[in-house]
Amino acid sequence: ARMLRVAAAQLGATHRSDPRSETLDRMLQLLDDAASQSAELVLFPETAFTTFFPRYLINDSVELDSFFEHGDVTKSPGAAPLFDKAKQLGIDISVGFAEAADNGERFNSSVYYHAKSGSVLAKYRKIHLPGDFEPFADPEATNQLEKRYFKPGNLGFEAFRVPDLAEGSEPIMGMMICNDRRWPESWRCLSLQGVEVVLCGYNTAGFAPDLWGSDKNQDPQKAEETALFLHKLVMQSNSYMNATFSICAARAGMDDGKFSLIGGSCIVGPEGDILAETKTVDDEIIVADCDLELCRQGKTRTFDFARHRRVEHYKRIVEQ
């Protein structure tokens, strides 16, 4: 066995005007909770330090800048205390944030922070940016303006090994962010590198008729149910088809009293089985023990890529 105790830190409602220090305190509290349950790795959501600002058209550059981390995220005043605490507790964390890079480019990013070495082991920049550049005509609509605020990620889907974890067996991990989880290509790029734990933070609108479109999404309750169903469907099926554990963490709840985000943070095994899942849409920690050896079955049998893939028939996937 190669046991690893992992946690997902779900964050509940976070409003546009919430002071960042308040949100950060909630994250520190969640990290403490995870530590008290002996988690070795904690995943936080996409753009975890603030509300999900791409739902708004923001023309004020000062306000927009306040949602971004400028320069090294581990040193950024609004984020550094989380990394410092992780180091102090000896717990690895992965967390999503809006990145304003030194050269002025902006990305929807996440990092894997390795507590023992006190360093960022890996960085990922979201590749599949959903939504539009221009807002919907309806001023009340939930927008999805990621294409306006971010560039598509330029770092690829790079798996990485984590030292000093899973009984020293150096598990292979990979990151994706929210919408990426709906694309089988994201998962396959990681699983071709032998990934054993996929980390995915998200902000997924529940009732947002302009975004999701279909008739059944005009009913708030049905819309939430569908959004949650599709979320779990992709986490479970892709974990199975790529013989990997996955952890996903939601920014959930009712932001600003009117924008609903689904919960459903969960830890999934390599046969698509849910090992732990949140029960609320509030701040909540879930923990599961993962035996990474369980990935071996799928990786050496049904999904033994070397024996069974037929790449000569996959060319369409990479053509425009």
Residues that bind ligand CDT (CB under 6 A): 46, 130-131, 144, 178-179, 182, 202-205, 211-212
For the CB of residue 282, give the shortest distance to ligand CDT in the complex, in Å: 19
Nearest to ligand CDT of 30, 211 (CB atom): 211
Q: Cβ 75 to ligand CDT, closest distance in Å?
A: 26
| Backbone phi and psi for residue 181, each to the nearest 5 degrees, phi listed first | -70, -15
Minimum distance from CB of 252 to ligand CDT (Å)?
12
DSSP 158-226: --EE-TT-TTTT--EEEEEEGGGGG-HHHHHHHHTTT-SEEEEEE--BSS-HHHH-SGGGGSHHHHHHH
- What is the C-alpha to C-alpha distance for residues 93 and 133, in angstroms, rounded to an integer? 31
Catalytic option among 40, 99, 146, 178: 178
Beta carbon of residue 61, minimum distance to ligand CDT (angstroms, whole number): 22
Give the active site residue among 126, 146, 189, 290.
Answer: 126
Query: Is 200 labeled as catalytic in the residue annotation?
Result: no
Supply the DSSP string of 259-289, one letter for each residue.
EEE----EEE-TTS-EEEE-SSSSSEEEEEE
Task: Pick between residue 144 and residue 244 the one whose CB is nearest to ligand CDT.
Answer: 144
Closest CB to ligand CDT among 96 and 171? Answer: 96
Between 130 and 194, name the residue whose CB sits nearer to ligand CDT.
130
Is 315 among the residues known to form the active site? no
Question: By the 8 A CB rule, do 31 and 9 touch?
Answer: yes
* Residue 126 known to be catalytic: yes
- Least separation in angstroms between residue 27's CB and ligand CDT is 18
Q: Which of 40, 46, 99, 224 is catalytic?
A: 46
What does each C-alpha distance from 173 to 161, 244, 292, 309 come to in angstroms?
Answer: 6, 9, 11, 22
Q: In this complex, which beta carbon is closest to ligand CDT, that of residue 55 or of residue 188?
A: 55
Instruction: Name the CA radius of gyration of the chain, rounded.
Output: 19
* Residues labelled catalytic: 46, 126, 178
